Every structure is written in C-alpha cells, then in structure tokens.
C-alpha cells in the first residue's frame, strides 16, 4: 500500500463560496493511501478524536481534487485514524467562538466539501470506527456507502449545544433512514450504537473493529469489479432523482441507459455473460 500525505499549502484548495479559508497549519491531518484501484482517505487528528476544523476541510477538499484526476481510481474509502473515532464532530473550540457570519461561513465550507464527496464520480464508502457524531455523521451521510465497526456510536448531538447540524445532516439523514426516525434522532441529540444503525439502514454492515478497513475494501471491491462507467452513471441517476420530478428522473435515466449502450464495457459485459466468463472492463 502506498501512502500519499496531503501536504497543506496556502491557496491549494479553492475558496469556499466568496469567503477565504483560514491559514493552513503545518500539520497534515488528511492522508491518502492507495491499494490498487482503491484510495483510502484517512482523517488523522487523534488528539481531538479526528474532529473537523478548517484545516481538515481544506485538506479533505484537496485530497478529493487530486483523486478526481486519477483515471485508474475505482473507489474511495474514508475512515478515521486510531481506534476511538471516525470523526467526533466539529471542533467545539472553534464553534464556541463563532458569530453569525462566521457560523454561516463554517457551515457552507463543510457543505461544499461534503457535496463534493456526494457528487464524486466513483463510489465513496465511510468505514466508521468508534464515534461518528455531529459533523462526523454528516460526513458519513455524504458518502454513498457506509459500514460500521461494532464499537461505533453515531448521532447528531448539536441541539444539546444550542445549534443544529450545519453540514447537511438535517437533509441527508431523513433521506437515508426516513423522516420519523431522522426527526427523533435530530431533536433528541441521542447516540445510537452500530446494531441500531444497521436496523435503521444507516449502515449496511457491522464488523469487528479489527477487520473494519479490510471489510470495507472487500465490500467496495464488490462494486469496483463492475463496469466503471455503469457504476458512475448509476450513481448519477440515483442522486439526480433526489432533486427533480419523476418525469425528469426517468428521462435522465433513459438517456444514461442509451449512452451506456454505445460503450465497449457494455459489449464486454454482455459478451462475458453469454460466454460464461468474468468480464474485463476497460472503462471505455
């Protein structure tokens, strides 16, 4: 496995909306590890339970900017360093000092990065070990797939701090688990364990903490063995349908279906099925 640190550089990531990012520290909080066709994005701020701050957001955005240019990439796994936490929310020390304009800036900074992840061109899986609270759960919700370790604790505790989720949690949680449970979890601010998250459909598997990353890779490779263009367009169709009418969603789906009929991957997939062999997709 090859490791590529995401080196923080002033101005390396585009400015969120019209605001400027805070000056980056000299610390690398996000690193990218490569395992064949997969990239593992590790958030490593263990002294703060991998809590999010402006540096983490900037480095996370930079990592996905770089990955977007990788033609050989087929899947991304996001996880947190250490045994205790995936991401234990946003940095309370920063949040406690914000005024109204600062709060809007912080919210939109996070929203922009998470939207980038949700709209990423290859599948992104959250491998949740330990705490995924507040912004950590919101990050996981922005991913296309989620699995959890048996020690995972998930929740949106913001109302207990006198605020609300600001990185898309009030929208995405309801889309994943349904309105009733999303409202309950958001308004109580309570935590749930991995098994309850599995029952809600918030995660699709619960595995041991020791096997979390390997299980994430194994499950992601069930996706990456399929036609990469088809996988990308399936994601586009699913997420496009969330924000449009049924008629428009159906029209978009049929258009993508037609585009795929012109690809070499479709011919390879159909041919391999007829010949009873495994397809060898080339992404063309």
Annotated active-site positions, please? 138, 158
How far apart (Å, rounded) are the C-alpha atoms in residues 156 and 161? 11
Contact criterion met (CB below 8 Å) for 37 and 72: yes
Closest to 55 in 3D by CA, of 113, 137, 104: 113
DSSP-assigned beta bridge partners for residue 207: 149
Residue 166 class from Cβ within 10 Å (0-12 exposed, 13-18 middle, 19+ buried)?
Answer: buried
Residue 28 class from Cβ within 10 Å (0-12 exposed, 13-18 middle, 19+ buried)?
Answer: middle
The region that residue 31 occupies, defined by phi over 0 for left and psi between -120 and 50 for alpha, beta otherwise, is beta
Contact criterion met (CB below 8 Å) for 181 and 190: no
How far apart (Å, rounded) are the C-alpha atoms in residues 190 and 188? 5
DSSP-assigned beta bridge partners for residue 76: 39, 124
């Amino acid at each position: 496995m090859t490791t590529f640190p995401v080196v923080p550089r002033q101005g390396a990531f585009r400015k969120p909306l019209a605001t400027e990012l805070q000056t980056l520290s000299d610390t690398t909080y996000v690193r990218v590890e490569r395992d064949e066709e997969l990239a593992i994005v590790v958030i490593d701020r263990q002294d703060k339970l991998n809590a999010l701050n402006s540096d983490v957001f900037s480095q996370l955005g930079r990592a996905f900017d770089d990955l977007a240019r990788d033609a050989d990439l087929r899947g991304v796994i996001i996880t947190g360093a250490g045994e205790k936490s995936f991401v234990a929310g946003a940095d309370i020390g920063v949040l406690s000092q914000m005024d109204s304009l600062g709060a809007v800036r912080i919210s939109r900074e996070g929203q922009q990065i998470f939207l980038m992840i949700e709209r990423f061109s290859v599948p992104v899986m959250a491998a949740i070990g330990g705490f995924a609270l507040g912004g950590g759960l919101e990050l996981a919700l922005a991913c296309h797939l989620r699995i959890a370790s048996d020690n995972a604790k998930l929740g949106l505790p913001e109302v207990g701090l006198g605020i609300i989720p600001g990185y898309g949690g009030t929208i995405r949680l309801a889309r994943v688990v349904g309105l009733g449970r999303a409202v309950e979890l958001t308004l109580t601010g309570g935590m749930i364990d991995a098994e309850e998250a599995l029952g809600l459909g918030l995660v699709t598997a619960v595995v041991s903490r020791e096997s979390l990353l390997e299980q994430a890779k194994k499950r992601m490779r069930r996706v990456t063995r399929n036609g990469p263009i088809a996988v990308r367009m399936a994601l586009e169709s699913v997420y496009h349908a969330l924000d449009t009418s049924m008629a428009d969603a159906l029209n978009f789906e049929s258009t993508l279906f037609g585009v795929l009929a012109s690809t070499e991957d479709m011919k390879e997939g159909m041919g391999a099925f007829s010949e009873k062999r495994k397809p060898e997709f080339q992404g063309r």
